[in-house]
Structure 1
Amino acid sequence: MVAQFGEQVRSALRSRGLSIREAARRLNYDPAYLNRVLNGRQVPSPHLVERLDQLLGAEGTVISLAASLTPDDHGRISRSIAHPTRLDRQAVDALAAVLAAQRRLDDAVGAAALIHPTEAQLLTVKQLLRDARGPHRDALLGVVAEYVQFVGWLHASAGNHVEASIHLYDAVDLADEAEDGTLAAQALNFRGYIARRQGRPTAVARWFEAAYHTPGAHAAQRMGDAAQAAQGYAQLRERETAKRLLGEAASLADAAHDQPPGTAYWLTSGFQRLSLGLAHLGMAEHALAADHLRAGLDGLPAEQRHADWTAEYRAALHAADGAR
């Protein structure tokens, strides 16, 4: 775990076709120094972190990842791994902060670059959960459930649907054990995303409706899930059911304006318009679909505007504009 900054950045560079030597040349840094940093043997300077962020076009997410890995946190995580029966809350919080930064990095550099290093970390945190004892194990369980879900998302985003489904199945079980409705609903939502990528509208309706009805789901999740279930029903030509779900999504709009859960930070009011756009496109309401999709894409924060997952919405906007 202590080398994860280097692992993540090294993988992101590789996905851009950059070796450590070539990256060092572009950054005007000593290749040996960069190699030590990216192999976890030396802490990067703030200037190097900033330059790596610029090189990767990461919009500050590499900086956030580096900030989440303080020397004290390294020590806490390492001690907890070596002595899991002495797990403390600070170590759990440090793992959660690292995971939050990795989620943001995915938006900027793409899923493919993060799958291998994140899977390696997942094995470590699962081992820690298995051996952990004491009052902080329940908090760790929630973090591990989110880790499993995140790896499932990475595979789903990269098109590895079988691997994604296996992880997301486990994520629901872990979320239920942790009694965390937001995590359970999000794992089901990602199953719906896979079904949509596969062109299976019945499964789209099933999984998003299951997420919508999950006890403990946040209003922002429920709004998006209702709209995406509506898209599935629209594609099945069950227009009345689709209209009902869109109405229920609209009724949640005020409550959905509250701060979304950290595990689903992207569910802003702008993002909700993307889900609404897909639903209206499914109902052949092309002008309304285009308005929602355009506004949603324009409203994304800088680090998300070119994320892999936005391609689906850009294609939908192109289709909606073409059919007007």
Structure 2
Amino acid sequence: MAESFGAALLRLREAAGLSQRKLARAVPISQSALSRYEAGLQRPDERTAARLDDLLAAGGRLLELWPSLGTETLSPAEEERLADAADHPRRVDAAALDSLAGVLTAVRRLEDETSSAHVIPMVDAQRELARQFAAEARSAMRPVAVGLLSELEQYRGWLAIPGQRWEQARQHLDRAAVLGMEADDPLRLSTALSFSAYGAIRRHDLSTADALSEAARRDTRVHIGLRTYETYQRAEVLARNDERADAVRLLTEADGMVDKLPPADELPPSGYWYTPAFFLGQRAFVLRALGDESGARQAARDCLAEMPPEWTTSEWAARRRELADAS
């Protein structure tokens, strides 16, 4: 995927050694507006884009990206509504929160084609905006805003895992779980717990993974995609703990759940990847933990063969590729 305007703006500003405040003053625009441009939350007008291109000595390269902003998928009306909410957080409404959630979904898909490091600055800017909304939203909107902040915190924790920033991941995921409870949002709470369990598995902390994976599965109100993921995850933890009979039972249960998944276009935006191809990879990790190396390699190969092309360069696909190529 081509670099977006916001990502290019951020890269060029940092390469020039300029703070957001200094560049914003030079344009001149507000620092909050510049932050929204970099995060893909707002589209600058063409004159401002040209001014930024000139100040950053981009030679027209930044301006060329202006008509097509990549992750900036909002309509002009949505951008205006979100910008107004950013300037006046107490005015945030359901439509503005939906717009921010839509940008988050686009960034998740961008990560599939780039890397966690590529999208972290954008997610941090979105997270800060969501934090303001959660702090200042009117009472009717506060649970929705807190729930969205929980999702951004959980995603930020997830993004820290590929770089093995374990403490950073834990802090974000702990915060996500607390916010999920505050919002009374079973989906976001369960996701935060399962992501925390994933981080514990990756750092070989099986006692923590055991507790978290069990807790993540307790609330059955979450959609079947997440429940399927958590069932495979629980099976892997049990297999790593040499609880083979229970692991095999849950593996069989998870395989049956895959057959009940809805079509990909009916999956929620926060779980668009919960497809049969993705779960072949989860099955591979369980088989490896059970000692079935041949079966694990084949499941990983099948996963890679069936996943959409835009996922093949993702960091989670790389783990499946390592397993498929293991001797």
Given the two structures, how large is their TM-score scaled by the length of structure 2?
Answer: 0.77
**Following TM superposition, by how much is the alpha carbon of 1:117 offset from its aligned partner in structure 2, in angstroms?**
3.4
Q: What is the CA RMSD across the aligned residues, in angstroms?
A: 3.0
Could you say which residue in structure 2 is the equivalent of 1:67? Answer: 73
Deviation digits for residues 230-278 of structure 1, max 9, x if unmatched? 1222122211121121122123223334533221111111101110111
Could you say which residue in structure 1 is the equivalent of 2:38? Answer: none
Could you say which residue in structure 1 is the equivalent of 2:279? Answer: 272
Could you say which residue in structure 2 is the equivalent of 1:58? Answer: none
Could you say which residue in structure 1 is the equivalent of 2:181? Answer: 176
Deviation digits for residues 139-176 of structure 1, max 9, x if unmatched? 32322221111111111233211111111111112122
Pair 1:279–1:49, CA change in 2 (3 A): farther
Deviation digits for residues 257-300 of structure 1, max 9, x if unmatched? 45332211111111011101110111112232222111111222
- 2:260 is paired with a residue of what secondary structure? helix
- Superposed, which structure 2 residues align to 1:11-30 within 5 Å? 11=10
Pick 1 or 2: higher relative contact order, CA cutoff 8 A, min separation 6.
1
Counterpart of 2:53 (choices 36, 41, 51) is 36
Q: Aligned equivalents of 1:280 and 1:12: distance in 2?
A: 42
Percent sequence identity is: 28
Q: Aligned equivalents of 2:246 and 2:55: distance in 1?
A: 52
Pair 1:146–1:314, CA change in 2 (3 A): same
Pair 1:82–1:172, CA change in 2 (3 A): same
Q: Aligned equivalents of 1:176 and 1:104: distance in 2?
A: 27
- 1:234 is paired with a residue of what secondary structure? helix
Question: Is 2:131 the counterpart of 1:126?
Answer: yes
- 2:219 is paired with a residue of what secondary structure? coil
Q: How many residues are matched?
A: 287
**Following TM superposition, by how much is the alpha carbon of 1:13 offset from its aligned partner in structure 2, in angstroms?**
8.1
**Following TM superposition, by how much is the alpha carbon of 1:108 offset from its aligned partner in structure 2, in angstroms?**
1.4
- 1:248 is paired with a residue of what secondary structure? helix
Could you say which residue in structure 2 is the equivalent of 1:211? Answer: 216
Q: Aligned equivalents of 1:268 and 1:38: distance in 2?
A: 45
Amino acid at match of 2:73: A
Counterpart of 2:249 (choices 244, 250, 261) is 244
**Following TM superposition, by how much is the alpha carbon of 1:306 offset from its aligned partner in structure 2, in angstroms?**
0.6
Question: Is 2:323 the counterpart of 1:306?
Answer: no
- Unmatched 5+ stretches in structure 2: 18-48
Q: Is the 8 A contact 1:11 1:114 kept in 2?
A: no
Question: Is 2:292 the counterpart of 1:261?
Answer: no
- 2:242 is paired with a residue of what secondary structure? coil
Q: Aligned equivalents of 2:314 and 2:225: distance in 1?
A: 21
Q: Aligned equivalents of 1:255 and 1:12: distance in 2?
A: 43
Given the two structures, how large is their TM-score scaled by the length of structure 1?
Answer: 0.78
Amino acid at match of 1:67: T
Q: Is the 8 A contact 1:151 1:164 kept in 2?
A: yes
Counterpart of 2:195 (choices 190, 201, 211) is 190
Amino acid at match of 1:137: R
Q: Is the 8 A contact 2:239 2:289 kept in 1?
A: yes
Could you say which residue in structure 2 is the equivalent of 1:162? Answer: 167
Amino acid at match of 1:281: R
Question: Is 2:142 the counterpart of 1:142?
Answer: no
